[in-house]
Amino acid sequence: MKTFTHFLPGITLTGHEFQVPLDYAHPAGPHITVFAREMVAAGKESADLPWLVFFQGGPGFGSPRPDAPPGVWYRRAVQDYRVLLLDQRGTGLSTPVTFQTLASLPTPQAQADYLKHFRADNIVRDAEQIRAELLGADVPWSALGQSYGGFCLVTYLSLAPAGLNEAMITGGLPSVVRPVDDVYRATYPRVAEQNRRYFARYPEDAGRARAIVEYLATHEVSLPDGGYLTPRRFQQLGLAFGASDGFEKVHYLLEEAFVAGRSGRELSYGFLRGVMAAHAFDTNPIYALLHEACYCQGEASRWSAERVRAEFAEFGLDAERPVFFTGEMIYPWMFDDYAGLRPLREAGQILAEYADWPSLYDVATLQANRVPVVALIYYEDMYVAHTLAAETAATIAGIKCWVTNEYAHNGLRADGERILDRLIGMVRGVV
């Protein structure tokens, strides 16, 4: 169902809503809405263009809200395609998953059971239903996946390759066979290296970080939304280190951390607001609730990032070592420190202990792949270890890889037109 048509300079946008089963094993059961935003170059609205569906990173985040600045990837995409920006189930204008909506379910177990349907396998099933409605069941489309969106595309190649004409992946080749603990054992060293680079660029921030941790250890600090700023939550600012502008975001926040208040030195309101705004774990709780489950196939995560962290002493907070920031890791204590996650604590624990996650990938199908696939692997990616990405690339028959350290994980956002132009050339065999 079309819901609106809007116009930006050079681009026409059309909204679509689709009704899909919550559980594809029970198609007659409850349905949810999945929203997608069609994007086409002005003047080509009636043209017979191939479709390109975009899978956003995450999990738990809606597709980009177009404002059409120069250099953005979809400026290149609409030259050749009719683009569909998919709000994956639970995100954006699709039936939302928040602590407010989950409160309508009667128990934490009911919340967890509901959330089990929000991984990549069902995102792919949604895409297949949408493709059949828009294009016809026998017409494949092209796909672009960034980060977690690339994970979804590898699931797509495993479960429904006939639906794909070609696939382009940026920073999103997941491990398809390794247990979840292996993912974090590969990731923590990359985060530690980013910390060393950060403090080499801003050596004075070592003292600032230590002063903030010591203050937080001796004061109870609440954030404007009622969350707690603890030393461990402060360390999560390192999540930004995976992007090309992440060092600066953290540095300028730390620069203005303290002010002289009525009772002496205290953390500034601006700093507290900045810390609160740095993360979307509470506004987009799928990210916290299902992040580790993204890596699980027939195993329980059991708070893998928390358990594996104990193997890396550099992330401890004793006074004898520098304060190292953590990265893209989810910890059980977040369901205490983040106000918006507290109502979901029990559901989070149930999901962490759940071991019957179905397989997301089919190695035999990937090894027999016939879909043209290209992937950009960021060699120094802090979020998706290039070593594990290379393992997966070796599993997907016919894949072409572009491996570079020119970009951080946000390359598609930072230089999207250039990156997508090259990927299109690669997938068409002209680069």
Q: Do 393 and 53 meet the contact criterion of CB atoms below 8 Å apart?
A: no
Q: How many CA atoms lie within 13 A of 55 on its CB side?
A: 33
What's the CA gap between 267 and 101, in Å, rounded? 33
What's the CA gap between 293 and 39, in Å, rounded? 31
What's the CA gap between 333 and 343, in Å, rounded? 13
Tell me: cis bond preceding 59? Omega within 30 of 0 counts.
Answer: yes
Known catalytic residues are 147, 356, 409
Provide DSSP, 204-232: HHHHHHHHHHHHHHHS--B-TTS-B--HH
- Contacts of 318 by beta carbon, 8 Å cutoff, 6+ apart: none
Q: Do 392 and 174 meet the contact criterion of CB atoms below 8 Å apart?
A: yes
| Chain centroid to CA 352 | 18
By residue count, the chain amounts to: 431
- Sign of torsion over alpha carbons 411, 412, 418, 423: positive
Residue 162 CB coordination number (10 Å)? 11
Pairing mode, strands 164-170 and 373-378: parallel
Q: Do 42 and 78 meet the contact criterion of CB atoms below 8 Å apart?
A: no
Helix (H, G, I), strand (E, B) or coil at 398: coil
Helix (H, G, I), strand (E, B) or coil at 193: helix
What's the CA gap between 272 and 279, in Å, rounded? 12
Q: Do 244 and 415 meet the contact criterion of CB atoms below 8 Å apart?
A: no
Q: Hey, what are 408's tokens?
A: 């951080």
What's the CA gap between 393 and 404, in Å, rounded? 15
What's the CA gap between 251 and 237, in Å, rounded? 10
Pairing mode, strands 51-55 and 258-261: unpaired
